[in-house]
Amino acid sequence: MTKPLAGIVGAYILCHAVGNGVSAARADGFYVNLHGGPRYLKDANLSRDPHGEPLDVGRLHFDNIGGTVGIAGGYDWDNGLALETEFAYRRNGLDHDEFHGDSTDLDGTLSSYTLLANLYYRLDTGTDFTPYVGGGVGISLLDLDMKRGNEGRFHALDTDTQFAYQGIAGLAYAVAPHWSVGAEYRFFGTQDPSFIDHPDGNRVWTETVYHAHELLFGVSYSFD
C-alpha cells in the first residue's frame, strides 16, 4: 500500500472511530437540557365583558416577537422514548387593542410560567444526528401587566392559570460523548386566559387567545 493511500485509510478509520464514540448505541439514562429562543405570539380576538353592559369583541395586538427560556430534566430509554419535566418562562410585549375600528395603545407584557410533562420519540439514525418529535401537557400561569392609553390611567395587574400544551419537532447533534446541541420548532398554546383589566372600580373581564410559534436552541447533557 502506498503512503498516500495508507494515510487516507488511516484517516477514515480514525474519523469512523471518533464518530462512533459520539453516536454510540443509545443507552438508558437521565439527562438535563437548557433551551431558549425567539417566539411569535399570534394576535388574538379579544372579548371584553363590562359589568352590566353587552359583550364587546375586538382584537388584541402583541409585540409579536418575544422570547422563551427553559430547563428540563428527564429519562431517555434505548427504544427512543424519553419522558421529561420542563419549566419555561415566556414573555411578549403588548402593542394595542382595537374595538369598533378605534385603537388604544397598550404598554406592558403578557408573560407565562409553565410546567409541562413532555414525551419524545427520538429516531436512532446510527449517526451523530437524531431527529425527534414530541408533545407535552401541563399548566401555565399567565401574568398580565398592562396599561391602557397614553396616560396609563387603567393599569391591570392580574394572573390566570390555564391548561397548557405543545407540539415539538427538532434535530439534535452529538458534539461529544454525553453532550448534544439541537434546534427545534414548537407550537405552544393554552386554554383561553381571562383577566380583570380595569382594577380601579370599572371592572372589565377580558378573555383572549394564547397561541405561539417558537424556534428554540438547546444543549443537553446525558448521564448514561
Question: DSSP label at 42?
Answer: P
Over residues 22-49, the pLDDT tens digits come to 444 456 899 999 999 999 998 887 776 6
Q: What are the residues whose beta carbons fall under 8 Å from the beta carbon of 117, sequence distance 6 or more?
A: 83, 84, 85, 86, 136, 137, 138
Global model pTM greater than 0.85: no
> What local confidence, expressed as pLDDT, does residue 179 receive?
97
Q: Would you state the cell numbers that stand for residue 149, as one nine-digit string?
A: 392609553
First-last CA distance in the chain: 41
pLDDT above 60 for 21: no
Higher pLDDT, 9 or 117: 117
**Could you give the CA distance from residue 153 to residue 146 in angstroms, rounded to a whole number?**
10
Average pLDDT for the chain: 82
> What local confidence, expressed as pLDDT, does residue 71 receive?
98
Over residues 72-87, the pLDDT tens digits come to 999 999 999 999 999 9
Give the start-end residues of each E strand in the chain. Answer: 29-41, 44-50, 56-76, 81-99, 102-122, 129-148, 154-176, 179-190, 194-196, 204-207, 210-222
pLDDT above 60 for 125: yes
Higher pLDDT, 153 or 201: 153
Indicate the pairing of strand 210-222 with strand 56-76.
unpaired
**Could you give the CA distance from residue 221 to residue 159 in angstroms, rounded to a whole number?**
34
Over residues 173-201, the pLDDT tens digits come to 999 999 999 999 999 999 988 877 665 54
pLDDT above 80 for 208: no
Buried b / exposed e along 187-219 (16+ C-beta atoms within 10 A): ebbbeebbbebbeeeeebebbbbbebebebebe
pLDDT above 90 for 104: no
Q: Is 163 exposed, middle or buried (0-12, 13-18, 19+ CB in 10 A)?
A: exposed
| Domains in the chain, CATH or no CATH each | 27-222 (2.40.160.20)
- % of the chain beyond a pLDDT of 70: 75
pLDDT above 60 for 152: no
